[in-house]
Structure formats: structure tokens, C-alpha cells
Amino acid sequence: MDPEREPVKVLGISGSPHRHGNTETLLDAFLDGAKEAGGETDKLVLKSARYTACQGCNACHKSGACIIEDDLVPLFDRILAVDALALASPIYTMGITAEMKGFLDRAQYLWARKYLLKTMYFTREHIQRHKGVFISTAGTGWEHVFSGAFPIMTAFFDITGFEYYDNVIANDMDRWKGIRNHPTALADAAVKGRKVVEEIARLRVGGSPGGEPAPQTR
Amino acid sequence: MPYQVLAFATGPRRHGNSETLLDWVLADMAGEPDIAVEKIALDEVTVHPCRGCNACEVLNKCVQRDDMDNIHDKIIAADCILFATPIYCLGICAEGKALVDRAQVFRSRKYVLKLPVVPPERLGKRLGIFIASAGQNWDIVFDGAKLSIKCFFHVTEIRDRDIHYLLVRGVDKAGEVQTHPTAREEARATAKRAVERLREMNR
């Protein structure tokens, strides 16, 4: 198939220990929007994956490969093959969950390839056409409740060749008594899901970043 | 009774840079007659991540049975808590984050159930020390971790002004902190200040 006509691949990864909770529901709304815009969507739930955290052994600094053999190495291969990556984690204690952190830290071997060994490189065009989105909910209404998570996402998307494109975040879940009672969050997530697919499709045919969205094809 | 100092080495690499910083501080503190030190390496115990079930908001305890049962009691009994982590991906390592998140039971006790976490006479007399090492030299490299660690200390009744920091940038390779120009001295100063502050608070 003509690469321009291939569907935009969107992978959502849920890092919540809680199935179908606020964050995963928000991710689902985002993925539904992406699908509506013609994206090929897929969701992976870390809770059902088998993996351990990075051991900090730094073996990858020499070899560019992780010594741990589990579900994450094939997952990183998948991540490098998709066009948009949505990382979803609720906020626990001002940060992402331990499950999500355990997964993200394992990208160290990719960091080593990119920055130490220089065997992996992403062109500016590649980064523009690959979008990273952070999806999160938090119980408290504090404005700065996501501030601890943002730098982690910045680091991870940089390592894996995605432009950190958007945040789909909703705080104050305790007051709203769940994402379904939030007046706008789910609808906004669907809009953002559509937008990311349309933007990537537009860039593929030579559109300039941040321009007018392509007319919807449905 | 000596001041109880409870230290957590949370990094997966044993005796790495952040644990070395921790050991320096502990060694200096332990040299004082009124200090009793206990160190726990998360590598040697089992602390599962929080499941986010929120049962602790009702039960006032965690539904998971692991080494956190024991650690929970030690956290309450301690006069000073040290938390050491390497910075991975601009945050606390995953093992350390699991421990931080399991403090949710204290948060539920304090803010939801409105029960005391420590006896009232202990309030304002507990000290926290956050120790971290980072490979990067960026200014912001500890910012994300500090937000989480502040919550950990706040819910365990350690006030913001009673949190001390020992943060060393630019050490990545195993043992690199050993050759850092100021780290050993900073650790010594951290220990000295902590012991003085403990005595002052409990006078």
C-alpha cells in the first residue's frame, strides 16, 4: 500500500492497576476519537503484561540491548512502529504509577542507543509525524497535580522519537465522583484523539505542522 | 531512648550512587550517641505497587500483605526517615515509587478518616531527608521526584520545612559519586544538620 494511505496507527498504553477506572476510560475515549478519524487503534494494559523494572545495570550502555527478557522488549518494538502513542496513567502521589514508571524506565536501552552509542536516530520529519500524548486523571483539584508527570513524559517521548504533542488530563476526580460525571473530559479526549490522527495524516501528504486540519473523511 | 532513624535505599542497583550517599549520611549520624539507625534496601524486601483500590479509605489499612506491613509500623515509629533513590527518566525509580504510593494508607488515615498518623505529641518532631543522584546535570532533574517525595513526607507527618535534601547531579556510572568533588562533604553536612535539628525539635 502507498505509505500515505496506510491508516495512522495509534497505540494506547494503560498504566493503571485499576481496570476500567477513570484514566483508562479517558484513554478509551481518546482511542475512540482516533478510530473515528480513521486511525488503527490498539490498547495495551500494563497490568496484564509480564515485566520487571529496570535494574540499573547499565549493560545497555555498551550493548544497546536490555538484558531482561520479558514482555517489554517486543512492546518497545511495537512502540517504535506506531504513529501515535498515548501513555495513560493516573496520578499517584504527584507522579505516574509504579507500573507505568517501571515500564518507562526500561527505555534506558533506547536512550543508550540514541545518546551514547548513536546507533538510533530520528529525523526532524519523523519526530513531527510521530505524536506522543499523555493521558491522566487525578483525584485532587490542585492545578499543579500533573507537574511531576510532565518531565517524565518529555524524557520518554524524546527517547522514542515522538513529538510530545498533547495532554489529555482531568483533575478533581474526587469531587466529580469519577470521569463519567466530568462535564467535558471524555468529549475533549475524543476530539483530541481525532485531531492527532488528522494531523499525522495531513503531515504525511506534505501539510505544514499545526496548519488547518484536513477535511474529515468518513 | 535514642532517636530512631529509618533509611530506605530504593534503587535497583545495590550500593550505587544514591545508596552510597545514603550510607555516608547514615554512617555520620550513627556516630552520634543518641542515634539508632536502621536501613532497609527495597531490593531485599517485597513492597508491591499500590493497586488503587481505595479500600484503605474505609479499612484504614492496606489490603495487600507484604513487607509493607512491617515497614508501615517502622515509618510511624521513626524520628527521622531517609529516602534515597536514583533518578530514572526524571523521576523516582519504579521500586521507590511503589513505596511512595503505598503511603496512600497514611493519606487515607490523615485526610479521609481524619485519624492521627502519629501520636499528637510527635507532630512537628519528625524529620525527613531526601537523597537522590542523577546522571544528568539539568537544573530540573530532581523537580518531578521532589513533588512525589514531599507528599510521602507530608502524609507521614513530616512538615515541608522539616524535609532536608541531598541531591547530587552528574553521577551516572557505578561508583561515580565517590569521585564527585563535593558530595562527601555535602553528605557530612546533611548528617550534622539532621542530628542538630532532631535534638532541637525534641528538646
A55 → closest Cβ in B13, B152, B173? B13
Indicate if the pLDDT at residue A212 is higher than 90: no
- The pLDDT value recorded for residue A70 is 97
Q: Hey, is A103 helix, strand or coil?
A: helix
Distance from CA of B143 to the nearest CA of A (A): 7
**Mean pLDDT for chain B?**
97
Q: A60, A68, A101, A103: best mutation site toward chain B, by most B Cβ within 10 Å?
A: A101
Indicate if the pLDDT at residue A215 is higher than 50: no
Q: Is B165 on the interface with A (CB under 8 A)?
A: no
- Each residue's pLDDT tens digit, B53-93: 999 999 999 999 999 999 999 999 999 999 999 999 999 99
> Quick one: which of A5, A71, A80 has its CA closest to A44?
A71
- Is residue A2 classed exposed, middle or buried when 0-12, 13-18 and 19+ CB atoms within 10 A define those classes? exposed
Please, are residues A171 and A137 in contact by the beta-carbon 8 Å criterion? yes
Domains in chain A, start-ordered, CATH in brackets? Answer: 3-204 (3.40.50.360)
**Average of per-residue pLDDT across B39-50:** 97
Chain B residue numbers touching A97 (CB-CB < 8 A): 49-50, 52, 97, 101
- The pLDDT value recorded for residue A217 is 43
A104 → closest Cβ in B52, B89, B98? B89
Share of chain B above pLDDT 90, in %: 97
Residue of A nearest to B103 (CA): A93
CB pairs A-B closer than 8 Å: 115
Please, are residues A129 and A83 in contact by the beta-carbon 8 Å criterion? yes
Chain A residue numbers touching B176 (CB-CB < 8 A): none
Q: Is A76 on the interface with B (CB under 8 A)?
A: no
Domain boundaries, chain B: 3-201
- Each residue's pLDDT tens digit, A10-40: 999 999 999 999 999 999 999 999 999 999 9
Q: Compute the distance between CA of residue B40 and CA of residue B81 in angstroms, rounded to an integer.
A: 11
User: What is the reported pTM?
Assistant: 0.89
**Average of per-residue pLDDT across A123-132:** 97
Indicate if the pLDDT at residue A213 is higher than 60: no
- The pLDDT value recorded for residue A216 is 46
A101 → closest Cβ in B86, B97, B104? B97
**In what order do the strands lie in the sheet containing A84-88?**
A40-45, A9-14, A84-88, A131-137, A163-170
**Average of per-residue pLDDT across A183-192:** 98
Q: Is B89 on the interface with A (CB under 8 A)?
A: yes
Indicate if the pLDDT at residue A206 is higher than 90: no
- Each residue's pLDDT tens digit, A137-176: 999 999 999 999 999 999 999 999 999 999 999 999 999 9
**Average of per-residue pLDDT across B128-135:** 97
Answer whether CATH 3.10.310.40 is correct for domain B3-201. no
Helices A149-160 and B143-155 meet at what angle, rounded to 10?
A: 140
B residues 120-149 near A, CB within 8 Å? 140, 143-145, 147-148
**Mean pLDDT for chain A?**
94
Would the CB atoms of B91 and A148 count as touching at under 8 Å?
yes
> Please, which pLDDT band fits residue A218 given cuts at 50, 70 and 90?
very low
Q: Is B152 on the interface with A (CB under 8 A)?
A: yes
Q: Compute the distance between CA of residue A95 and CA of residue B157 in angstroms, rounded to an integer.
A: 20
- The pLDDT value recorded for residue A117 is 97
> Please, which pLDDT band fits residue A1 given cuts at 50, 70 and 90?
low
Indicate if the pLDDT at residue A2 is higher than 80: no
